Amino acid sequence: MDTVSRHYDQLLARHYTWMLGGDLTALVAEQTRLLRDLGVEPRGPGETAVDLGCGPGNQTLALAALGYDTVFAVDTSKALLDELTSHAEGNPAILPVHADIRVVLPEITEPASAAAIVCMGDTLTHLPRKAGVTALLVDCAAALAQDGRLVVTYRDLTRPLHGTDRFLPVRSTPDQVLTCFLEYVDEETVMVHDVLHRRSGAAWTQQVGSYPKLRIGADWLVGQCSAAGLTVERDEAGPRGMRLLTAVKKGRQPITNDRGRRRRGAILGGEDPRRFGFPATGDERAMLVNVLAAQRATLELKCAGLTVEQARRSVEPSTLSLLGLVRHLADVERRWFRRVLAGQEAPDRFSSQEDPDGDFDGAVPDPAVVAGAWEAWREEVAFADAYVAEAPHLDVEGHDAWRGRVSLRWVLIHLIEEYARHNGHADLLRERIDGALGV
């Protein structure tokens, strides 16, 4: 989210409340009514809510007004958090958190502890990859208590605009005009170009900036929520041209063994379509791609909802950890798809000849290290998926220093084997960490 963060720091943050109409008190009242209508209200004392991408605080202040005892307000913009703090006027319920929403939930909440999580104001589209949305929803499901609610608003940019329709007026006042222009990069991304004109005396100045947004479709997001174990209650047109989705974490029946005894720990998984939703017949390429995608999704599942300390935890005398596995598998993807098949000069991200175990030894309990590991893994998976999609056939070959000539078919089979082996490790590590089970 570095590009988005820079854009907010350099242009949008200082004008954000103005963009929304300029009257924060009215915005808070509007959000309070909306959240109450959506069933977002405390059911008892001591309840916690989380506002992901809080901005200047219209949702955060609404959650506090509704009566939540603790409201975590998370944003990457220090300027917006400072504005929120000034409006909160020392309210002890509001706890500003300067952090990336992709990694923050396991740090600020215990599993199954949050009564409500909101991610509103188009925050979700600011994530750099759709895989990040999927992972965030898994973290939300892990953080929510039973019957806890998730509220998301976002702009559905999947249908492209053409010609002058791509110029969108945001707001204008006698001394300031903000317009944005949409440039469709690919099926997943649109580039937003903001143009701000400001009057200073008799002269006007212009400031411009750009940042990417994800093109998230309603059906896709509903599917990802269901895959994360959330029950979608509402999926409809929302306020201010946004799409509105609400989901609830329902209780699940415990898994039992063949003697009917209840197994310990939380139950991970459910009917995740990435892992169980693909056909068991058909084309060889699609079959290999789907099975590999299922193995990758299993790794994400096994790491969901952990704190930084838990992600790094190993079982002596081994240094094997879930965080280390993510770093290791990022390097594995990079080796086979970038170096071997695509022929790129792409050294490992985390290991080297001088430090061959750097992927595991460098897996230290630091939020930046965790975020960097997932970002690297998702970038390598995205490259691999693009390479496979563009390959004319499975007999495309590359050269490996150990094995000589290898085909794309062999690499896909090898990656499935690699993930299956390490997901077995992940099963044991996760159960040892917090007792969580899953299929």
pLDDT of 326 above 80? yes
The position carrying tokens 């969108």 is 168
Q: Work out the average pLDDT over 254-274.
A: 43
CATH of the domain at 77: 3.40.50.150
Domain contains 336: yes
What mean pLDDT do residues 390-394 have?
93
Name the burial class of residue 146, with classes exposed (0-12), middle (13-18) and buried (19+) by CB atoms within 10 angstroms of its CB: exposed
Same domain as 290, residue 190: no
Q: Are residues 177 and 239 in the same domain?
A: no
Please name which of 252, 277, 250, 247 lies closest in space to residue 267, comparing C-alpha atoms: 252
Strand positions, DSSP E, 17-113: 48-52, 70-75, 94-98
Q: Which domain holds residue 210?
A: 163-214
Does any domain span residue 256? no
Q: Please say if the pLDDT value at position 212 is more than 50.
A: yes
Residues 237 and 298 both lie in one domain = no
What's the full length of the chain, in residues?
Answer: 439
For residues 44 and 137, membership in a common domain is answered with yes
Contact, 153 vs 243, CB < 8 A? Answer: yes
Q: Rounded distance, CA 195 to CA 200, Å?
A: 16
Q: How confident is the model at residue 438 (pLDDT cuts 50, 70, 90)?
A: low
* ∠ Cα 302 419 264 (to 5°): 30
Signed CA dihedral, 230, 232, 236, 240: sign only = negative
Residue 255 lies in a domain: no
Q: If you write DSSP's letter for every residue of 16-67 in order, what string do you get? A: HHHHTTS-HHHHHHHHHHHHHHTT---SSTT-EEEEET-TTSHHHHHHHHHT
Do residues 352 and 390 both lie within one domain?
Answer: yes
Classify residue 259: in a domain, yes or no: no
Q: What percent of the chain has pLDDT over 70?
A: 92
Residues 406 and 327 in one domain: yes
Question: How far apart (Å, rounded) are the C-alpha atoms in residues 58 and 51?
Answer: 10
Q: Round to whole Å and give the CA distance between 244 and 427.
A: 35
With respect to residue 398, please indicate whether it lies within any of the assigned structural domains: yes
> Both 138 and 206 in a single domain?
no
Residue 141 has pLDDT above 50, yes or no: yes
- Look at residue 262 and tell me if it is in a domain: no
Identify which of 306, 301, 296 has the alpha carbon closest to the alpha carbon of residue 268.
301
302-320 pLDDT tens trace? 888 778 888 888 866 778 8
Listed residue (299, 303, 274) closest to 415, CA to CA? 299
- The SS3 of residue 400 is strand
Residue 69: both structure tokens together: 């005892």
Alpha-carbon distance 338 to 400, whole Å? Answer: 11
- CATH number of the domain where residue 385 is located: 1.20.120.450
Question: Has residue 258 been placed in a domain?
Answer: no
Q: Measure the CA dihedral 384/297/322/373, to 10°.
A: 40
Q: What is the pLDDT of residue 435?
A: 76
Work out the percent of the chain whose per-residue pLDDT is above 90.
Answer: 64
What pLDDT does residue 422 have?
95
Cis peptide before 92 (omega within 30 of 0): no
Q: Are residues 30 and 121 located together in one domain of the fold? A: yes
Is the model's pLDDT at 229 over the cut of 60?
Answer: yes
Residue with tokens 């086979």: 336
According to the model, what pLDDT value does residue 204 have? 95
Please indicate, yes or no, whether residues 65 and 144 belong to a single structural domain of this protein. yes
118-132 tens-digit pLDDT: 999 989 999 988 878
Distance CA 372, CA 431 (A): 24
Instruction: With cut-offs at 50, 70 and 90, classify the pLDDT of residue 277.
Output: low
pTM of the model as a whole: 0.63
Q: Is the domain of 388 the same as that of 302?
A: yes
Q: Residue 299 corresponds to which tokens in the numbers above? A: 């790794």
CA dihedral 147, 153, 156, 157 (to 10 degrees): -130
CATH of residue 184's domain is 2.20.25
CA-angle at 190, arms to 186 and 195, nearest 5°? 145
Q: What are phi and psi of 311, to 5 degrees?
A: -60, -30
Q: Find the mean pLDDT for residues 227-252.
A: 88
Q: Are residues 199 and 231 in the same domain?
A: no
What CA–CA distance (Å, rounded) separates 146 from 154? 25
The predicted model gives 416-432 an average pLDDT of 92
* Nearest Cα residue to 274 out of 337, 316, 220: 220
| Pick from 322, 11, 410: nearest CA to 193 | 11
Whether 230 and 353 share a structural domain: no
pLDDT digits (tens, 9 = 90+) for 158-193: 999 999 999 999 999 999 999 999 999 988 899 999
pLDDT at residue 19 tops 50:
yes
